[in-house]
Amino acid sequence: MKRILHFGPGNFFRAHMADYTFDAGGWVITGVSLRSPNIRDGLARQGFAYTLVVQERGEKRIDVIDNILVGSESPGGVLSLISSDDTKVISATVTEKGYHLTPSGELDVESGVIANELKTGKPASLIGYLAYGLAERRAPVTILSCDNRTGNGDALRKAVETFAEFSSIEIKCKVTFPNAMVDRITPATTDVLRHETGDPMAVPCEAFREWVIEDDFVSERPNWPGVAFVDDVAPHELRKLRMLNGAHSYLAYAGTLANYDFVHEAIGDPKIRQVACQIMDEASETLPAEIREDARRYAKALLARFDNKHVNHRLRQIAMDGSEKVQYRLIDTFRARKSKGLESPAISTAILAWIEFCTQEAAAGRAIEDPRGEDLAIAASSKDPVVAVLELIGARDLASSIAE
Ligand code: CS2
């Protein structure tokens, strides 16, 4: 069996890459949780198989994971799988914050985890593991980021190279980092679902799934069914991040402020729906021409996905980690329009909804779930929250045009 080593075996991975790889056949996936043993313990009790509950299609038993290692328990085991010839692809869904980048996209060598790795030489983050593990590897390998970031592969490559440079590590093997666009709406598992399926590790997801990957593999890969291999993923990625995720983040903030709990409720509110549609319109005007023509159909399909009452996607799940997400879901769109001399009333409304959400969370004494949560709470409670919050994500220069 050929192996994929995957960092971050959470719900999204179990609904997306694991589902595709199970369908492809002939491969196993070994998972890596960086710290928490919970997913490993839960899945180990059931032989690492679990139920994927696909809306409108029913239950599917996914049996493709052979083991999950927990980095904090066995760092050496993780490193040796990175350097092993049997591992053909190394992939990751560690969420936006797992890359430890500054708002300008550089590896944040002063952030707690990275600084500590550099000081002690002990890996703890995806970046540290890759740098130390690749140093011992000889066979070519493809590293596949499956997180929602612009240029996710490029960002990961740069972070690993910076880490290697700072710690004088030499990576000798041939390695590529194709960029990829991933898509499948995957809510958190609820107790109701656990009860209905009898599977404590069940994962719910919508029927729709999409994966577009740059054709830049230097090692074998599974024959993933339905995956589009392209020369340049940027148009697909920008469309998805700016239209789907941009509208999603707006729904999360405006919807929570209006006391809704779920995406289908927020999108059912006529005022919120109108702004969400306008966000998709404004975003579509920033896309490369070849994909722009299809934007109307894409937006319509997105609305149908948001309207789906059976998915029960919680707004607060999407609201998390705004200081990472808002950047390329909304700020980049705003900048792209500005450079064309276009105003962005709906995108501005969305950015302001995020700031207002932070202000209200702080006022209610709730911790903001975000790697910069404490700083955000202070900024959002200050005299001029728009300036202070935008400053935190390197976008202070936009404050007056956004607040206009
Ligand atoms: C969501 C995404 O949680 C979020 O921030 O916007 O996870 C979204 O559901 C996926 O990107 C859909 O593919």
Query: What 3-state class would DSSP assign to 151?
Result: coil
Q: Tell me which residues have their CB closer than 6 angstroms to ligand 1.
A: 148, 183-185, 245, 248, 317-318, 325
Provide CATH code, domain 2-230: 3.40.50.720
Tell me which DSSP letter residue 110 carries: T
The total of other beta-carbon atoms located within 10 Å of residue 345's CB is 11
pLDDT of 173: 97
> What is the Å distance from ligand 1's center to 16 Cα?
12
Q: Pick from 11, 14, 148, 210 the residue to mutate for probing ligand 1's pocket: most ligand atoms within 8 Å of its CB.
A: 148
Q: Ligand 1 centroid vs 184 CA: distance in angstroms?
A: 8
Q: Which two tokens stand for residue 250?
A: 């707006």
Which ligand 1 atom minimizes the distance to the CA of 183? 13
The ligand 1 atom at the shortest distance from the C-alpha of residue 210 is 13
Residue 231's CB is within 10 A of a number of other CB atoms, namely 8
List, in order, residues 6 or more apart from 384 with CB less than 8 Å away.
none
- Which residues lie below 8 Å from residue 116, measured CB to CB, with a gap of 6+? 122, 124
CB count within 10 Å of CB 289 equals: 7
Range 239-254 burial, b when 16+ CB lie within 10 A, else e: bbbbbbbbbbbbbbbb
Q: Which CATH superfamily is domain 234-402 in?
A: N-(1-d-carboxylethyl)-l-norvaline Dehydrogenase; domain 2 (1.10.1040.10)
CA of 328 to the centre of ligand 1 (A): 13
CA of 245 from ligand 1 middle (Å) equals: 6
Dist CA 320 CA 106 (whole Å): 22
The alpha carbon of 240 and the centre of ligand 1 are apart by a number of angstroms equal to 10
- pLDDT by 10s per residue, the chain, length 404: 899 999 999 999 999 999 999 999 999 999 999 999 999 999 999 999 999 999 989 999 999 999 999 999 999 999 999 999 999 999 999 999 999 999 889 999 998 999 999 999 999 999 999 999 999 999 999 999 999 999 999 999 999 999 999 999 999 999 999 999 999 999 999 999 999 999 999 999 999 999 999 999 999 999 999 999 999 999 999 999 999 999 999 999 999 999 999 999 999 999 999 999 999 999 999 999 989 989 999 999 999 999 999 999 999 999 999 999 999 999 999 999 999 999 999 999 999 999 999 999 999 999 999 999 999 999 999 999 999 999 999 999 999 999 97
Spacing of C-alpha 302 from chain mean position: 18
Q: Which residue of 241, 245, 357 sits with most ligand 1 atoms within 8 Å of its CB, as the best mutation to test the pocket? A: 245
* CA 317 to ligand 1: nearest atom: 3
Burial 8-45 (b: 16+ CB within 10 A, else e): bbbbbbbbbbbbbbbeeeebbbbbbbbeeeebbeebee
Q: Which of 89, 194, 101, 191 is nearest to 145 (CA)?
A: 89
Residue nearest atom 4 of ligand 1, based on CA coordinates: 318
For the chain, the domains span 2-230, 234-402
CA dist 35 and 71 (Å) reads 6
The torsion angles phi and psi of 212, rounded to 5 degrees, stand at -120, 125
